[in-house]
Structure 1
């Protein structure tokens, strides 16, 4: 089983998922608009009450964090899609075909990553309409976008693995409950310095916080100015955290897929 074979099979599965979205676009459209609703809610409804130490414009602080949170939100849709395919027997049908063992999970990852690119474009466009701007260089701006997509790529594998483990779509809801506290317990909306000491430390070490802080730095937007090691090395950790997650959950996902129905 060569790498080209795996890539070709993976692209076939990606196309299958994309065609499914074209036939039923409503869930995709809702998924694209939900982050926009979150941005408008926190930016306009709650933004006037938010205060970030040393930061005058809350919108400039908020938007990079929301970009990072959008990359995390998509993990739930991945879990539901994977568990639904497993429950309906689609996954077993794929396993009976002469194809690469990693093709199904790689294909799902490819389709969801393309969807995430579209989602990031939509929410960046929303941010521009709200007055947010990237003040960094073109290279730094592209680097920030790359780090956001790298986080999404890593979290896709977490979602694929959880979807294969929790094969009942209804039970996925129980796992989804954990996604919200993890995403909110970060520097997305407020500075960890405003939290109780122990809680702020947890928020600082949240991988989402590293990507949000790195995006703010590369976009040239105001950050929260933490002086801890993790805060001072946000760009480095925005690379390290996703690589660690991929190194853990990619092999786990492939192994779990190969062992289904055993």
Structure 2
């Protein structure tokens, strides 16, 4: 089965976006499809966008085929796609596995409100936990190498006693953060990707939330990851993340194969079409 998709980037996070309004995949195993497509095109996850009762919807599957409730940078990419393809307003809502999310487009910047941080607790002197659509552990320390972040992140992600204590036996995402002059830098080991990713939107939000508590600094906070920077602010009690997104190309995926296909560049993207239903 051939699947048409759009490859997108949100602050270094790479996704394939499947538009089910144009290319529906009902009755197919999205977990298997997602794993195949992510392997073929080397992406962090697969976004499935659709509509429900006239409202935009987004589902996110990790690289390993696991469905997640939320992905911050994935939501920002879906927002850009909906605005460019279907939605006339710069401010609208998207239905996600973590509920209804308000999103906003301002030229090249895309901002999404993840909602309030939930279930915060301090685990030990330098380790904290907060839920920002998915579970995140935030470890405070000094600058850490990618190799060390990968090793320690994998260890904590697979720590059964820690995961069960936090109520997430399936595993938790792990962020290592350190403070810079007027911001924070982080490295995030993500469940489902099973590696340190270029960026993580929900992880940046969780890290900024913890940093505000621990360092006594006020939001907004600029977070720096390998893939770029995100601005985290308080939006009516919710955590909003904002930054750039970009299109990388149109691709063809194969649901039952693991060989790669080349990405064709996008020379032109139509931006003046609006779907009346939204």
What band does the TM-score fall into relative to the shorter chain? under 0.3
More strand by share: 2
Q: Quick one: higher RCO (CA 8 Å, sep 6+), 1 or 2? A: 1
With normalisation by structure 2, the TM-score equals: 0.23
More helix by share: 1
With normalisation by structure 1, the TM-score equals: 0.24
